[in-house]
């Protein structure tokens, strides 16, 4: 018998031809996978015509003819490939609400994940990894190559319409979550695009406004999470924001895009604009923008050719813009393994994960006299009351002006169905009656006649508009503030479930039995909330953003701070609070918030003890090892989040403390665990550092550094002191 030798080789698709990768590499040298990504990008750009280069520096709606079943959507999140050069088509999907608003119409199915503010509230790296894994996996499975997230702007303004798309007010918490999400997304060969870079903390006149912020504050608070996601997360791209930053639009701001991003941080990826955020041709290209969002306008062939002819830009500028993007596409295998087909998604498994994430991100804000969990064996009737938006349907996050982008989820679980599911699982025959709250008297009467009254209320936060106040708005013809007050007066042990996109004020909080913050839970809303209410899951979330005790506190104290005042015809918001943003302002001003940053209750109790700090004398460069014991002193399983804060020496001129470490710890009843957290002065979050604008560098001061360990920014349980004597 003749022996047959078979050699298996990777196959590359060029246009309609299937060509062995080894053969492609002979005619297209950049297709040699043995070469470094940077070299491949340079070779490719060197082979392109000028027209091809110009075509590749702006998105352009086009039919997805090479992707059967992907209808044409003129979203602009598209860069057509060039088959002769083996350049694949780029299809982007919006974020961070989940995989939606992409380059196919209608959107393929994807999981309705909880909002990013909810995932931040979990303080849980497993949740962040899971969230990133789901959206990365589903982006690729839906034949898209770039996921436009995570959202990383700071919760400076509690009224910000997009707070639900971001991760709160602390740069370390935001950066830690974004790093984990970005790594998980990019593990699927999909490029993550953290946004919006930078200082885009409000929606009011976002496209034209000016943000005025000093450089030290800019670096220590607003740039810091982006520094982390660039250095630790290895983000492939960033999306620059709409506003001017200190007078110059973000997408043409060379200090931000070149001096900081490339020179100080060593970023090698590409920068794209938000939709319509490009404001010029030459200043944007010279300032560091690589890709214009949507149909070419400022980067149109005519404008680019005019700028080239006038010597205002060079072909070298365009080459650099393209090399930044191709470098990342080569690095993540998008040339060698193009994403050009739909693949199956285990939507049932991802739905289960979405439920767990929603549960872990929910925060128990109040629980008077053990109102929760509800004991199913002791009740016969439940009143479910609230506007249909919050109590009658699963609450999804949505983005885009007016909230027109929502994930095309395979199913949803309503609050009513979720309660019935849990009661059935517990063998309870209790009846649940829904009342939409439009008739106040009937809602009150139902609450009185029921063993338990559950109010589900909230707000609708939207891209493009800030909330004018922090009250519960009128929704579905229901005055929610009046509804809560009336039901609470009739039923003192009323349970309030909040489904909101950011902080609210609660003038009624002292009159209700319990408050559960559920945010926008996504497709598994009903099951997740019901599991928490009945104790099948123990709340373990902590607030990632302070809940003010009144309107107009902290960074919204004056009109000049938010939404700003006209200066030379431009709305200008001045960050005059400086470093005293969020919980730092409340600490510095000795003001008691309604609920502090890092706060969250549990159905069990915990004790912290045995604090150890090693070494206690440091030169400011050595890692600091902080260890302590956490014990579950209650009767049910639960999770606590010990938080480490540090106070800098007085000479630093900083607010009283900053978050420098945390860890979520799950414990059985009576169980103790030793927790060790390392504070590395050389880490990308600069835990002991201050930024010197003159030197354009970070430094660590000599002096005493009190260390605090607690369960919120206001509940400090243990303390020690570190002394730093620089060499």
Q: Which residues are catalytic, by number?
A: 274
Give how far the C-alpha of residue 79 lies from the chain's centroid of Cα atoms, to the nearest Å.
25
Maximum C-alpha span of the chain: 92
Angle between helices 440-449 and 480-490 (to 10 degrees): 30
Q: Are 181 and 192 in contact (CB under 8 A)?
A: yes
Handedness of CA 665, 666, 669, 675 (dihedral sign): negative
> Cα(485)–Cα(138) distance, rounded to whole angstroms?
43
> Cα(518)–Cα(532) distance, rounded to whole angstroms?
10
3-class secondary-structure state, position 198: coil
> Cα(476)–Cα(464) distance, rounded to whole angstroms?
21
Q: Are 508 and 485 in contact (CB under 8 A)?
A: yes
Q: Which residues, 6+ apart, have CB-to-CB distance to 11 below 8 Å?
A: 18, 19, 20, 21
- What string of H, E and C letters represents the secondary structure of 458-483? ECCCEECECCCCCCCCEECCEEHHHH
Q: Are 208 and 200 in contact (CB under 8 A)?
A: no
**Residue 18 has which token pair?**
């299937």
Handedness of CA 357, 358, 363, 364 (dihedral sign): negative
Q: Which residues, 6+ apart, have CB-to-CB distance to 19 below 8 Å?
A: 11, 12, 13
> Cα(422)–Cα(420) distance, rounded to whole angstroms?
5
> Cα(464)–Cα(39) distance, rounded to whole angstroms?
41
3-class secondary-structure state, position 265: coil
User: DSSP secondary-structure letter at 497?
Assistant: E
- Nearest residue to 652 via CA among 713, 593, 709, 706: 706
> Cα(33)–Cα(110) distance, rounded to whole angstroms?
32
């Amino acid at each position: 018998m003749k022996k047959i030798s078979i050699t298996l080789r990777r196959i590359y698709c060029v246009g309609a031809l299937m060509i062995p990768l080894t053969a492609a590499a002979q005619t297209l040298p950049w297709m040699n996978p043995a070469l470094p990504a940077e070299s491949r990008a340079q070779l490719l750009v060197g082979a392109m015509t000028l027209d091809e280069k110009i075509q590749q520096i702006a998105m352009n709606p086009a039919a997805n003819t090479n992707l059967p079943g992907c209808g044409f959507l003129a979203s602009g999140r598209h860069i057509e490939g060039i088959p002769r050069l083996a350049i694949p088509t780029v299809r982007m999907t919006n974020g961070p609400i989940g995989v939606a608003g992409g380059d196919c119409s209608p959107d393929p199915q994807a999981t309705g994940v909880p909002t990013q503010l909810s995932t931040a509230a979990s303080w849980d790296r497993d949740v962040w990894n899971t969230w990133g894994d789901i959206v990365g996996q589903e982006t690729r499975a839906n034949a898209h190559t770039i996921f436009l997230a995570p959202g990383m702007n700071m919760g400076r303004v509690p009224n910000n319409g997009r707070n639900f798309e971001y991760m709160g007010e602390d740069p370390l918490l935001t950066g830690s979550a974004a790093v984990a999400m970005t790594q998980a997304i990019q593990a699927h060969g999909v490029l993550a695009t953290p946004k919006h870079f930078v200082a885009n903390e409000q929606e009011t006149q976002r496209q034209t406004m000016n943000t005025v912020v000093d450089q030290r504050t800019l670096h220590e608070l607003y740039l810091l999470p982006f520094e982390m996601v660039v250095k630790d997360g290895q983000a492939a791209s960033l999306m620059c924001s709409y506003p001017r930053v200190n007078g110059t639009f973000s997408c043409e701001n060379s200090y931000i895009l070149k001096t900081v991003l490339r020179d100080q941080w060593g970023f090698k990826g590409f920068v794209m604009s938000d939709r319509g955020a490009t404001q010029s041709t030459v200043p944007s290209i010279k300032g560091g923008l690589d890709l214009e969002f949507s149909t070419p306008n400022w980067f149109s062939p005519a404008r680019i050719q005019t700028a080239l002819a006038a010597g205002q830009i060079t072909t070298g500028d365009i080459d650099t813009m393209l090399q930044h993007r191709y470098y990342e596409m080569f690095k993540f295998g998008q040339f060698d393994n193009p994403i050009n087909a739909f693949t199956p998604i285990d939507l049932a498994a991802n739905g289960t994960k979405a439920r767990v994430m929603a549960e872990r991100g929910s925060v128990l804000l109040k629980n008077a006299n053990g109102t929760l969990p509800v004991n199913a064996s002791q009740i016969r009737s439940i009143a479910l009351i609230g506007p249909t938006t919050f109590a009658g349907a699963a609450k999804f996050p949505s983005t885009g002006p007016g909230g027109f982008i929502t994930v095309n989820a395979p199913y949803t679980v309503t609050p009513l169905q979720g309660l019935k599911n849990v009661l059935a699982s517990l063998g309870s025959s209790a009846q649940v009656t829904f009342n939409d709250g439009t008739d106040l008297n009937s809602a009150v009467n139902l609450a009185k006649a029921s063993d338990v009254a559950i109010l589900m209320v909230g707000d609708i936060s939207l891209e493009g508009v800030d909330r004018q106040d922090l009250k519960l708005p009128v929704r579905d013809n229901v005055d929610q503030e009046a509804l809560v007050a009336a039901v609470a007066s009739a039923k003192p042990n009323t349970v309030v479930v909040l489904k909101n996109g950011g902080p609210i004020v609660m003038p009624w909080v002292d009159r209700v039995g319990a408050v559960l913050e559920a945010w926008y839970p996504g497709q598994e809303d009903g099951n997740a909330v019901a599991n928490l209410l009945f104790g099948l899951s123990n709340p373990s979330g902590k607030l990632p953003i302070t809940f003010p005790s009144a309107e107009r506190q902290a960074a919204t104290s004056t009109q000049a701070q938010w939404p700003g005042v006209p200066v030379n015809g431009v709305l200008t918001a001045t960050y005059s609070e400086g470093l005293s943003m969020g919980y730092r302002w409340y600490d510095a001003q000795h003001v008691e918030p309604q609920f502090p940053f890092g706060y969250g209750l549990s159905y069990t109790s915990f004790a912290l003890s045995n604090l150890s700090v090693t070494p206690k004398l440091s030169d400011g460069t050595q890692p600091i090892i902080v260890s302590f014991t956490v014990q579950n002193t209650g009767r049910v399983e639960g999770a606590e989040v010990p938080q480490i804060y540090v106070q800098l020496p007085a000479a630093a001129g900083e607010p009283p403390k900053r978050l420098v470490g945390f860890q979520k710890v799950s414990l059985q009843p009576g169980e103790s665990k030793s927790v060790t957290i390392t504070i590395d002065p050389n880490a990308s979050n600069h835990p002991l550092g201050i930024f010197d604008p003159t030197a354009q560098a970070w430094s660590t001061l000599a002096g005493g550094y009190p260390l605090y360990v607690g369960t919120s920014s206001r509940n400090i349980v243990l303390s020690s002191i570190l002394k730093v004597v620089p060499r």
